[in-house]
Structure 1
Amino acid sequence: MKELIAHNLDDVPFVAKELLEAIGNRKVVAFYAEMGSGKTTLISAVLRAMGIESPEGSPTYSLVNTYDSPYFGEVMHFDVYRLNSVEEALDAGVEEMLYSDAYCFVEWAEIIEPLLPEDAVKVSITLNAAGERLIRID
Structure 2
Amino acid sequence: MHLSSQSNPIIYKQTDLPKIASELISRATSKILCFTGQMGAGKTTLIKAIVKELGGGNSANSPTFGIVNEYHNTNGNLLGYHFDFYRLEDETEVLDLGFEDYLNQDTWVFIEWPEKISSFLPDDVFEIDIDIVDSNTRKISI
Identity %: 36
Aligned to 1:54: 58
For residue 86 of structure 1, give the secondary structure of its aligned residue in structure 2. coil
Aligned to 2:23: 18
Name the count of aligned residue pairs.
135
1:29 matched to 2:48? The reply is no
Q: Deviations over 1:75-128 (max 9, x none)?
A: 111111111121111112222212222210001111111111111000000012
TM-score scaled by length of structure 2: 0.86
Q: Which runs of 5+ in 1 are unaligned?
A: none
For residue 37 of structure 1, give the secondary structure of its aligned residue in structure 2. coil
Assess, with a 3 A threshold, how the Cα gap between structure 1 residues 129 and 47 changes in structure 2: closer, same or farther.
closer
Out of 95, 98, 121, the position equivalent to 2:100 is: 95
User: Which amino acid in structure 2 is aligned with residue 30 of structure 1?
Assistant: C
Out of 124, 129, 132, the position equivalent to 2:137 is: 132
Aligned to 2:120: 115
User: Which amino acid in structure 2 is aligned with residue 5 of structure 1?
Assistant: I
User: Which amino acid in structure 2 is aligned with residue 15 of structure 1?
Assistant: I
Does the 8 Å CA contact 1:5/1:15 hold for their aligned counterparts? Answer: no
Does the 8 Å CA contact 1:67/1:76 hold for their aligned counterparts? Answer: yes
Alignment root-mean-square deviation, CA: 2.0
Q: Which runs of 5+ in 2 are unaligned?
A: 1-5
**Please, which moves more after superposition, 67-76 or 53-62?**
67-76
